[in-house]
Amino acid sequence: MHQYELMVILDPSVEEKTVEPSIEKFLKVITAAKGTVDAMNIWGRRRLAYEIQKNTEGIYAVINMTAPSDAVIELDRQLNLSEAVMRTKVLRAEDVQFSITPIEYVAEKPSERPARKGPRKDSSDKPASKRSESKTDAASDAPAEATEVAEAVAE
């Protein structure tokens, strides 16, 4: 047997008084298969993140249980057949224990740019009248510069 967590979103037209008895009716599948219902939390009416079946809110319930996998599959199947249930999600709670250990932060050195090959092309050497014309030339030189940088990085 494994531990599972089941989240159910019910139609908001269902009265909140009848939510717990209707869910317990479905949970008889678990108890019949020698499983146990560890906890049942009814969160009540909540706003949905997005519309489900043209509803903007739903009644949430979260159930923690220990049961065989066949019983959980049958429970999920029965919940999906019910018209009062809008969504279900069954998660298997793993018994993984872990501890978080802090990691010492070490600042990285700034990466050095590779040296360029050849003379640097600079538009400031040109007279002011030619600078405006060189914008089109600079656009055509960009791929050549990119390949030079890529070659320098590859080395």
Distance of alpha carbon 141 from alpha carbon 60, whole angstroms: 61
**E strands in the chain:** 2-10, 36-52, 55-67, 85-92
Q: What is this structure's pTM?
A: 0.58
- Running along the chain, 155 residues long, what does each successive block of 10 average in pLDDT? 91 90 92 92 90 92 92 93 92 62 64 64 55 50 58 57
- For residues 69 and 137, state if they share a domain: no
- For residues 71 and 139, state if they share a domain: no
Residue 111 inside a domain? The answer is: no
Other Cβ atoms closer than 10 A to 3: 15
- Tell me the residue range of the domain where 50 lies: 2-92
